Structure 1
Amino acid sequence: MTDQGDPLARIADALERLTGAMPAMPDWNAAPAYVWDQTGARPVTQLAAPTLDLLKGIDAQKALVTANVARLAAGHAAHDMLLWGARGMGKSALLRTSVIAAQGQDPGTLALVHVAPDAFAALPRLFGALGNEARRFLVFIDDLGFADGDSEGPRALRSWLEGGVDARPANVRLAVTANRRAIVPRHASEQDDPINPRDAVDDKLALADRFGLSVGFHACSQDDYLAIVGGYCASHGLQWDQGEALEWAKRRGARSGRVAWQFVTELAGRIGRAL
């Protein structure tokens, strides 16, 4: 506790109450991944993700993302990334897998930093810490979305991506996953404004345009879904039935990598196996 008789100490205490205590910082060279939340950063000693060969039905997306992450790890020019589209099609899994692959090629050069939802506003503090390191970092914001009427969040993200005084440092790239390409909600009424009817829409799309690499993910076909199930089952030595796999997807109203993995989890659980 600071000395309350010292005027400077009283000012420091007041500022801390207003702005919150500075978050704790770990050794940024000690772990393959970190989580950044409102209390600071904590290391993740093991980064888990499916292997690249198990991510099926997204071959074009895999090629783009893995190449970009490898460039970042090697210290070459690399893009900020927006991975958008259908739920459950491996957007976040592909990012984690790409980081693991890059770490295998260039150990120690790259770390993943997963930003918790409650820590979005504190990203400038994170950038300030990471910018002092020689290591490269992929800062990952999963399932990003902004509420209606939130103008500050999109404006801050645009500033961090380029042009702002608190933009992310040169050794950091942002990777964002979202369900829609524009990230922010869009409404039909935006098309009906008689004065500059495209302005609102263009402003929202401008946020997506700040990402050098924008990769779309779409609901998988029946063949792709079955290939995903087959790959997981082969990897774990599980027997499966095609008709049952299709019925599983039908009951959930979707075919995706997530639904395939849930089916595989069910198969393993039935026979007392851990995954």
Structure 2
Amino acid sequence: MQDSLAQFLAKAIEVLERIEPWLPETVENVDWQQHWAARWVRTQRQGYLRPIAVHSQLKLADLLGIEHQQRQLVENSQQFLQGLPCNHALMWGARGTGKSSLVRAILAEYAAFGLRLIEVERSNLVDLPLIVEALRGRPERFIIFCDDLSFDAGEADFRQLKSILDGSLEQAPENVVLYVTSNRRHLLPEHQSDNQNWQRSESGELHPSEAVEDKIALSDRFGLWLSFYSFSQEHYLDVVCHWVDHHARALKLVWQRDEGFEKAAIRWATARGNRNGRCAEQFAKHWVGQLGLQR
């Protein structure tokens, strides 16, 4: 009797293991009244939106030195929110200069007006048609945000992005706009061989000019291009002071900008090989933390 029961249980477990991949997954539904943002999650069997708890206190006023880029993206976002014609946006340039921070600050500024954000990783761009179709007809206005986007040579995933942006019958609905950040202006690598004639092309490309056009065509589909550049030393120090003041005020600490402070901030940036907003805030946290220990 016991042997029969054991055999039955073993057989049942085997059957369950076989059918498990075909069972529906637990999908988290997003309550857009409660959540400002979600992330598209790709599993083995399907993809779904997972809500993100947004705790960022970043404000537009915290982003110093990028007023021109900020004004353009804010105006574009306001047009989008009001149902007016607007553009998909490509923000490109040096790392840590405020590209993704600007998008987060805009979300915080306009979430009360129905703006929402969906993060999509570069590896999940193939699901863009599924994502935009799920959002079609909803009352909220959605930014689909892909951070630090670039493609390697030979990859074809970028064509899915092109079709959603423009040039396809299946375009993004009017309540969806794409904001993308990248270190590359054209998102795809460009090689010297792209400009060589076909006799000298290592890849054997017979029409190299068309290959170049194919790469540039992707970034051309973004109507708004915003360029971000490395900070000057003066700009960097101004941003450092802003964040030191921000963190010190929260802890009721007193500090002063003197020569020693500036030298320490410059050494911090030099050790990391860049001057940007991310580096400035990191130093500010270090400096204020040290002041807190000495209190």
| TM-score (ref. length: structure 2) | 0.79
Q: Which runs of 4+ in 1 moved over 6 A?
A: none
- Residue 231 of structure 1 corresponds to 242
Counterparts of 1:198 and 1:130, CA distance in 2? 37
CA contact under 8 A between 1:84 and 1:180: conserved in structure 2?
Answer: yes
CA contact under 8 A between 1:37 and 1:117: conserved in structure 2?
Answer: no
Shift of 1:139: 0.6
Worse overlay, 173-182 or 232-241: 232-241
| 2:118 counterpart SS class | strand
CA contact under 8 A between 2:145 and 2:180: conserved in structure 1?
Answer: yes
Counterparts of 1:125 and 1:23, CA distance in 2? 15
CA contact under 8 A between 1:85 and 1:216: conserved in structure 2?
Answer: yes
Q: Report the aligned-residue RMSD.
A: 2.4
| 1:28 counterpart SS class | coil
- Residue 266 of structure 1 corresponds to 286
Shift of 1:196: 4.4
CA contact under 8 A between 1:219 and 1:256: conserved in structure 2?
Answer: yes
CA contact under 8 A between 2:107 and 2:117: conserved in structure 1?
Answer: yes
1:173-199 CA-partner distances (Å, limit 9, x unpaired) = 000001011001111111113454432
| 1:245 counterpart SS class | helix
- Residue 148 of structure 1 corresponds to 153
The partner residue of 1:129 within 125, 129, 134 is 134
Counterpart check, 1:114 vs 2:122? no
- Residue 52 of structure 2 corresponds to 44
The partner residue of 2:37 within 33, 36, 41 is 33
| 1:170 counterpart SS class | coil
The partner residue of 1:183 within 180, 187, 206 is 187
Shift of 1:118: 4.2
Shift of 1:115: 1.3
- Residue 84 of structure 1 corresponds to 92
Shift of 1:268: 2.9
Shift of 1:22: 9.5
CA contact under 8 A between 1:181 and 1:208: conserved in structure 2?
Answer: yes
User: CA, structure 1 residues 209+191, in 2 after alignment: closer, same or farther (shift >3 Å)?
Assistant: same
Counterparts of 1:108 and 1:117, CA distance in 2? 28
| 1:113 counterpart SS class | strand
Shift of 1:28: 3.3
- Residue 12 of structure 2 corresponds to none
Amino acid at match of 1:209: D
Q: Percent identity?
A: 35
Counterparts of 1:174 and 1:23, CA distance in 2? 24
User: CA, structure 1 residues 49+176, in 2 after alignment: closer, same or farther (shift >3 Å)?
Assistant: farther
Counterparts of 2:102 and 2:113, CA distance in 1? 20
Counterparts of 2:25 and 2:218, CA distance in 1? 31
1:224-256 CA-partner distances (Å, limit 9, x unpaired) = 111110111122226351111111111111110
- Residue 4 of structure 1 corresponds to none
Counterparts of 2:187 and 2:122, CA distance in 1? 15
User: For this pair of structures, how many residues does the alignment match?
Assistant: 255
Alignment of 1:190-205 (within 5 A): 190-194=194-198, 196-205=207-216
CA contact under 8 A between 2:92 and 2:184: conserved in structure 1?
Answer: yes
The partner residue of 1:210 within 217, 221, 228 is 221
Q: Which has the larger radius of gyration?
A: 2
- Residue 58 of structure 1 corresponds to 66
CA contact under 8 A between 2:244 and 2:285: conserved in structure 1?
Answer: no
Unaligned runs of 5+ in 1: 1-12
Structure with the bigger RCO (C-alpha within 8 Å, sep 6+) is 1
- Residue 176 of structure 2 corresponds to 172
| TM-score (ref. length: structure 1) | 0.85
- Residue 6 of structure 1 corresponds to none
CA contact under 8 A between 1:47 and 1:96: conserved in structure 2?
Answer: no
Counterpart check, 1:157 vs 2:161? yes
Counterparts of 2:182 and 2:147, CA distance in 1? 7
Unaligned runs of 5+ in 2: 1-18, 199-205
1:4-42 CA-partner distances (Å, limit 9, x unpaired) = xxxxxxxxx8xx85xx96965423343211111215112
Counterparts of 1:265 and 1:211, CA distance in 2? 36
The partner residue of 1:95 within 103, 115, 121 is 103
